[in-house]
Chains A and B, each alone.
Chain A
Amino acid sequence: MIVASNLSKRYPGGFEALRDVSFAIEAGQMVFITGHSGAGKTTLVKLIASIERPTSGSLVVNGQNLSALRRSAIPYVRRHFGLIFQDQKLLFDRSALDNVLLPLQIVGLGRRESIRRAQAALDKVGLLDREKANPIALSGGEQQRLAIARAVVNRPAVLIADEPSGNLDAESAGQILDLFVDFNRVGVTVVVATHDPHWLERYHPNVMRLAHGRLAA
């Protein structure tokens, strides 16, 4: 469960990206955050993923207050999230399989079990036959699916995506959404920042709209 209370974020320089945002996302929910460019979507995603820290207010994820977290505890909290970025942040100096193995190396899982789980994650996103390929050889949609495989390989409780369909055609975007739906069906909480109209139409009851850093009614 994710509970935000009067969450604000002001960046150095004075720009206030979020102002007094409060909401609650139940465990197992699938929620879309939308709004115009600069509305605060990415900032909110980064706060939930503990990549940024709030200036004020509190943010509690699975009973843990992220606002009061010690710096040394942040990496361990991040391991509970699966993060997907618009630019995927894949590593192009290694194969698709090695990209997916990275989160498992971070938690120190054994090599054999890591490979088994990474291959299962690649299979889930339909990329098992491309495990040896360098990400640069993959299409935009495949790269995004690879990023999803890396995000889910650690079996996170929460999947957080920032504009995951941003650079994709309608068909690839549809495949990505289907994957999110699949993960949500098995109990994973999914939070997606997007302005994709097709997704928002399909899931309009679960949409949080941001405008100028505030949660719109």
Chain B
Amino acid sequence: MMAWLSQHRAALARAFGRLLAAPLGTLLALLVIGIALTLPGLGWVLLDNLREIGREVSAVQQISVFMNLDAGKKDIAEIEGRLRSADGKWRFVSREEALKRLQASEGMAEIVASLPRNPLPDAFIVEPARSDPEALEVLRKELAGWPKVAHVQLDSAWVKRFDAFLRLGRLALWILAGVFAAGLVAATFNMIRLQVVAQAAEIEVARMIGATDAFIRRPFYYYGALQGVLGGLLGGGLVAAIFALLGGPVGDLVALYGGNFALHGPGLLHFASLAGAGGLLGWLGAQLSVSLSLRKLD
């Protein structure tokens, strides 16, 4: 166990040594990896921001439940009782209150005054606990089936469209991430291949004096993984910088439309994921490269 640990520690130290031995080359390699991870990272954080907007907006999703004109107090009490036992908030808008509101609207007073009787029904404004499109649709159907309910209005089309947009965005992000991941593996593959060629003499000597394949491969694996982790962190930093630059102008734009949304840059999870993905892809590129390169040296 101690020998195993000692070998891993030495391999890690050798990998660090190789990274530090050529600082300019290492910096350029990290930039290549960082930039390759920036675009998917940017898309990911952007989608997270959009999802948050969607959550905030859909969180105040309302369903209007209009009663029949002949619905009496007993029918209203029945609906109130049913809504009390359900999750979420609701409030009752009587037909008189609705008429008053209509009258208060600009240019409507005269029109309302000319009406022979109040044409508006009693209504309930329901704010459900769950606001995802599927749950809203289920609730709409249920409310429509309640007694003396004339019409249930739910404008969920935009929620569905927004959800579909997010799904499409996620798919596009996965495709983009796949393409850039392949590029990152290829870049690491080439860097490690050059490393193996440069270390050919050491590999030959090490093999002759009893090094196993694992011993020879290990520093290259660590090198690829380390490079990937550092590149991933650099990518996360670039995403954070881009969001920091965009945050002000986006906030100003949203304010012009009366909103108060603020862009959120990458969090710890984003950084950790980019570093982890970079490390994993670097390790994969190193493994493919070392396997092929060592076979050539055999």
Question: B-contacting residues of A (Cβ < 8 Å)?
Answer: 49, 51, 72, 75-79, 83, 89, 91, 93, 102-103, 105-111, 150-151, 154
Name B215's contact: one of A77, A83, A89, A106 (CB within 8 Å): A106
Known: A75-B212, A91-B202. A108 touches B207 (CB 8 A): no
Cβ of B115 under 8 Å from chain A: no
Tell me the complex Cα distance, A78–B2, Å: 21
| B7 proximity list for chain A (CB < 8 A) | 105, 108
Tell me the complex Cα distance, A105–B201, Å: 17
**CB proximity of B200 to chain A, nearest CB, Å:** 11
Known: A89-B204, A91-B201, A91-B202. A103 touches B210 (CB 8 A): yes
Interface readout for B205-248 with A: 1 if CB under 8 Å, 0 if not? Answer: 11111111101000000000000000000000000000000000
| A93 proximity list for chain B (CB < 8 A) | 202
Known: A75-B211, A91-B201. A102 touches B206 (CB 8 A): yes
| B208 proximity list for chain A (CB < 8 A) | 49, 51, 78, 83, 89
Tell me the complex Cα distance, A105–B2, Å: 12
Name A109's contact: one of B6, B210, B211, B213 (CB within 8 Å): B6
Interface readout for B131-147 with A: 1 if CB under 8 Å, 0 if not? Answer: 00000000000000000
Known: A91-B205, A106-B215. A76 touches B210 (CB 8 A): yes
Cβ of B86 under 8 Å from chain A: no
Cβ of B4 under 8 Å from chain A: yes
**CB proximity of A106 to chain B, nearest CB, Å:** 5
Tell me the complex Cα distance, A151–B210, Å: 11
Q: Is the CB of B3 within 8 A of A109?
A: yes
Q: Can you name 25 A-B pairs with beta carbons within 8 Å?
A: A51-B208, A72-B212, A75-B207, A75-B210, A75-B213, A75-B215, A76-B212, A79-B210, A83-B209, A89-B201, A89-B205, A93-B202, A102-B205, A102-B206, A102-B209, A103-B209, A105-B7, A105-B10, A107-B210, A108-B2, A108-B6, A108-B7, A109-B6, A110-B6, A151-B209
Q: How many interface residues does B have (CB within 8 Å)?
A: 19
| B204 proximity list for chain A (CB < 8 A) | 89
Chain B residue at smallest Cβ distance from A151 = B209
Question: A-contacting residues of B (Cβ < 8 Å)?
Answer: 2-4, 6-7, 10, 201-202, 204-213, 215
Please name 4 further chain A to chain B contacts, defined as beta carbons within 8 Å, in addition to the given A108-B3, A108-B7, A111-B10, sorted by A numbering: A49-B208, A76-B212, A102-B206, A107-B3
Q: Is the CB of A108 within 8 A of B211?
A: no
Q: Is the CB of A108 within 8 A of B4?
A: yes
Name A78's contact: one of B6, B201, B209, B213 (CB within 8 Å): B209
Tell me the complex Cα distance, A77–B209, Å: 9
Tell me the complex Cα distance, A108–B185, Å: 30
Chain A residue at smallest Cβ distance from B11 = A105
Chain B residue at smallest Cβ distance from A80 = B210
Q: Is the CB of B209 within 8 A of A79?
A: yes
| A83 proximity list for chain B (CB < 8 A) | 208-209
Tell me the complex Cα distance, A76–B209, Å: 9
Tell me the complex Cα distance, A89–B205, Å: 7
**CB proximity of B21 to chain A, nearest CB, Å:** 9
**CB proximity of B79 to chain A, nearest CB, Å:** 77
Chain A residue at smallest Cβ distance from B14 = A105
Tell me the complex Cα distance, A136–B271, Å: 45
| A75 proximity list for chain B (CB < 8 A) | 207, 210-213, 215
Tell me the complex Cα distance, A178–B167, Å: 78
| B6 proximity list for chain A (CB < 8 A) | 108-111
Q: Is the CB of A106 within 8 A of B205?
A: no
Chain B residue at smallest Cβ distance from A94 = B202
Chain A residue at smallest Cβ distance from B6 = A108
Tell me the complex Cα distance, A211–B207, Å: 30
**CB proximity of A5 to chain B, nearest CB, Å:** 25
Tell me the complex Cα distance, A79–B6, Å: 17
| B212 proximity list for chain A (CB < 8 A) | 72, 75-76, 106
Chain A residue at smallest Cβ distance from B198 = A93
**CB proximity of A187 to chain B, nearest CB, Å:** 20
Tell me the complex Cα distance, A110–B1, Å: 11
Tell me the complex Cα distance, A78–B215, Å: 14
Tell me the complex Cα distance, A151–B208, Å: 11
| A49 proximity list for chain B (CB < 8 A) | 208
Tell me the complex Cα distance, A90–B208, Å: 12
| B4 proximity list for chain A (CB < 8 A) | 108
**CB proximity of B135 to chain A, nearest CB, Å:** 58
Chain A residue at smallest Cβ distance from B8 = A108
| B205 proximity list for chain A (CB < 8 A) | 89, 91, 102
Q: Is the CB of B2 within 8 A of A106?
A: no
